[in-house]
Amino acid sequence: MLFEHIYEHSAIYTVFMKSDMLIVLREKMFIALKKISTEELVYTRKDIDEELLIIYSLNALLGLIFHWVESSFKHSPAYMQEQLVKIINYHPTVAKTAIKGSTKR
């Protein structure tokens, strides 16, 4: 739904991206999404700070949205929504620990 809205108004968002209004737009979107997240979502994990989770999640979402706009809407709204769901549910199980050029002692 969010990606569809942005795509339907792509001309406006594209103009905002090229103007000084980008910072204002990002802040207004952040405030609106934070309000929705705070008032309408239920957080059941008591071991995670709710405010930090909201801040982290919203910055990630806005980064994804603004990247999509900057890339001239390279992908469809449906694809973006699908990828967002996959990203949210992705939990890496293996970490790369070796650094190129380093030697173990």
Query: Angle at Cα 29 formed by Cα 85 and Cα 1, nearest 5°?
Result: 40
Per-residue pLDDT tens over the stretch 35-92: 999 999 999 999 999 999 999 999 999 999 999 999 999 999 999 999 999 999 998 8
| Inter-residue contact 62 to 26 (CB < 8 Å) | yes
Q: Is the pTM of this model over 0.85?
A: no
58 neighbors 30 (Cβ within 8 angstroms):
yes
Query: What are the residue ranges spanned by the domains of the chain?
Result: 2-89
48: Cβ contacts below 8 Å, ≥ 6 apart: none
In angstroms, the CA 23 to CA 17 distance is 9
Average per-residue pLDDT for the chain = 91
